[in-house]
Each structure stands twice: as structure tokens, then as C-alpha cells.
Structure 1
Amino acid sequence: MKLLAYELNPFIEFLYHLKLAGKTSRMRSRLLAVLSELAQRHESEVNKLVQEYAEKDEQGKPFIVEEEKGSYYKIANMEQFNKEYQELAQEEIVLDLTAERRAMLECVRDAVLDCEDVFEGDDAIRYNRWCDIVEAIQYEE
């Protein structure tokens, strides 16, 4: 199963909100645990990138700009930061189709493809992408 790093959290959110029961719900929970671990690793890498490019205060901590709209890190070299951030966001995440994961992945694949929810607009486009991801889950008999 392959998806891009920036798709991890939206895909996790989608799976989390699917109305499932029994075995399908348990298999979804297992997949969510695996995907959440990958999302945490990605978030950690983004945090390291911010630490590397953020301007630092006297104590060496990233300088945070406070504004009415919210707060953000002041980035020293925004062009280079954005380039590296985009590379990180576009990183392909691969979940190996191992025998041990077969039941989990096939069960979740079928739940996503058989989902009876109605989608429109951006949600429909995202759902189509989630279907593309799970349709690629194919085990040879």
C-alpha cells in the first residue's frame, strides 16, 4: 500500500470516521495504529526541519512570532525550508503487503471500497484517492 506523507493524517481521519463493526472495526483499528506510527515519524521529521531552519532566540530555542491570527516559527531561509518541506510531504510511504498484514489490509480495503456514505465536492475527490490507495492492495493467490 502506497500513499504520500501529506496524505497520512487525512487518510487516518477518514478511516477513523468510517462506521464499522466487529472484525472490520478491529482490523481498521490495527491499520490506524500502524498509520499513526508512520504519521508520528513524519511529524517528528517536520519538527526537525523546523528546528534546523527556524531563527533562534538567546537560549537557542526557535523564535516564535505571536500575532492576532496565531503564532508561527520565524524561518531564516524560507525558500530552502519550503523546498525541503515539499520533499518531505511528497515522500512515498510504503506499507508492505506482508502475510501477517493480509487480513487487516484486505478487510480495510473492502470496507473503504464498499463504503455507502455519499460524498460530494472535495470529499468526493479525497474518497476517490482513498479508493485508489486501497485498490492497489492485491495479494497473489
Structure 2
Amino acid sequence: MSKVMLSTTPVVLTTAGRAGLQERLASARRAAAGTDEGSAERQRFLAEITAMEDALRQSVAVEEVQEDPTIVELGDEVVVQDAVGAEETVRIVHPLEARQGADHISVDSPLARALLGHRPGERVLVDAPAGPYELTILDRRRLS
């Protein structure tokens, strides 16, 4: 499998993320079919369907994106430790995939933005809405 370099923010999905988006698409299609023609609700479903279809068409698998194994990137599972020693594992994913699990965080979130580009062993400052806090990156690995 060849790797691709992407210069813009692509729709990068894990295997589970792609499956979840396809399930959401099927559900939205069923819901749209059950609404009145021309209703605002139907128009909302049709807009969601179009957005999901476009995302799936433009998406690439996380395995297809060239990886730098030394830094945290979109498509990584990252283990972090807070100031009191508690560890947490998060998966940095595309926003369309973020709601598929409690440990999934959008690449656009304050936590992901703080982690991206940093290496295991580094401390990062997270500029969260509730206030800033520091974490240490313990490990990272590529999702599939």
C-alpha cells in the first residue's frame, strides 16, 4: 500500500470511524425516507446525508497517510499523564469520528491541538475552556 502526503486537512478515518460514519449515513437515509417531502426536517437530513457522502468520498484511511513516528499526529492513540499521576489514553481523530467513543477526541479540540507535533516525554500546556493545565505525553501509536 502506498502512502500519500496530504497538505490540507483531509478526512482521515480509522477503520472503525469509516464504519461508524457509514452506519450514521444509513440511519440518516432511513430517517429522511420517513419524513414529509419538503419538510424542514427532511431538508436537514438531506444536508447531513450530502455532508457524510462527501466526507466518505474524500476520505483516506489513516494507514494511507505518511506517518512521523516521533511526534503526535492525527490518527494517533496517545497516553498522557496529569500533574497528580493519573493516566489517560485518547485517540486523535477527524471531527466526524470524534463522537464514536469516550476516548475519541477531535483534532480540533484544545487537548488535541496541545498534543499535535509533540513527542513522548514532553510536557504540554492545554488551553482548555475551564482553564489551562499541563500533561506529559507518555506514549503514542498509530491507529488503524
TM-score, with length taken from structure 2 = 0.30
Question: TM-score scaled to structure 1, two decimals?
Answer: 0.31
Higher helix residue share: 1
More strand, by proportion: 2
If you compute each CA radius of gyration, which structure gives the higher value, 1 or 2? 1
Looking at both structures, which has the greater relative contact order when contacts are Cα pairs under 8 Å and sequence separation is at least 6?
1
